[in-house]
Amino acid sequence: MLLLAVLAVVHSVVIGLFLLPSGPVRSAAGSGLLSSYVDPYFEQSWDRLEPNEQQVDEALQIRVQLDTGEKKPVTTPWFDITRVENRALRRDVNPARMHDAARRLATNLNQVMFNIGKSGRDQVEADFVERSPDLVTAVLQAVDIDSKALRTYGVVETMTLRYTSLYAQSVYDRPIEAIQIRSGRRTAPERSAGKGARVTDLDFQWFSTGWRRLYRGSEDARKSFAAYTNGSVS
């Protein structure tokens, strides 16, 4: 007990000296010696002292080709599903897990996009409207993508395509011929980059698939999504 008490006192003194402004007392103790003790184990940054500050922002967007009765379909602007989610969550004190599904899908899609590398992303950007989207994994296999990353990408794209397809059918009132998905990620810079820098000040790094055949889903699934989205597109 006595040894622990002595160690606690010594630790407190060292931390106190480390926190002192530059001056004779701190210099006498040795700034380098103090840092060698504090930095490896007890260093703190403003990022840790501000747990509520957002450090990473991720987005999931879609655009579709609408059949308007003309010779060529009309391509819509990009529609940000996560932005709609964010607005809804601000008014919901007890959100269901479904209410942040788009952000979780964006997180997963961004991760697998990083994992398959540039050569894999080049293949993913190809269109698979006339062909089954399941062939994407076969194309990735041909460019020697890591087997684990390959399997994970196949699962994540399938999940994301089904979710976004049902979402699109619930918010657009015309037949949809094809859908395209993109996910974005931006990370806040370190404090050293400038005072008050926030993640929302930065641009997204975007990863996009090519055009995909729409997943129609069951009638019950489409009705559920229609009730969930409740007219997200104005």
Is 103 in the same domain as 37? no
Is 37 in the same domain as 62? no
Q: Domain total for the chain? A: 2
107 within some domain? yes
What's the confidence (pLDDT) of residue 231?
47
Is 37 in the same domain as 68? no
| Distances in whole angstroms, Cα of residue 140 to Cα of each of 38, 74, 115, 117, 121 | 47, 30, 12, 11, 9
9 within some domain? yes
What's the confidence (pLDDT) of residue 48?
44
Q: How many CB atoms lie within 10 A of CB 224?
A: 15
Is 31 in the same domain as 127? no
> Measured in Å, how far apart are the chain's first and last C-alpha atoms?
69
Cα angle, residue 169 at apex, residues 106 and 176 outer, rounded to 5°: 105
Is 26 in the same domain as 61? no
What's the confidence (pLDDT) of residue 97?
62
What's the confidence (pLDDT) of residue 32?
58
51 within some domain? no
Is 127 in the same domain as 172? yes
Is 214 in the same domain as 128? yes
Is 22 in the same domain as 65? no
| Residue-range definition of the domain harbouring residue 197 | 56-229
What's the confidence (pLDDT) of residue 49?
42
61 within some domain? yes
* Residue stretches of the chain with pLDDT short of 70: 14, 17-55, 90-98, 190-197, 230-234
171 within some domain? yes
Helix (H) and strand (E) counts in the chain: 9, 5
pLDDT in tens, 11-64: 777 677 666 665 565 566 665 565 565 555 555 444 444 444 456 789 999 999
- Contact between 178 and 64 under an 8 Å Cβ cutoff? The reply is yes
Is 36 in the same domain as 117? no
Is 127 in the same domain as 66? yes
50 within some domain? no
63 within some domain? yes
What's the confidence (pLDDT) of residue 51?
46
What's the confidence (pLDDT) of residue 46?
43
Is 137 in the same domain as 212? yes
What's the confidence (pLDDT) of residue 62?
96
What's the confidence (pLDDT) of residue 233?
45
Is 136 in the same domain as 186? yes
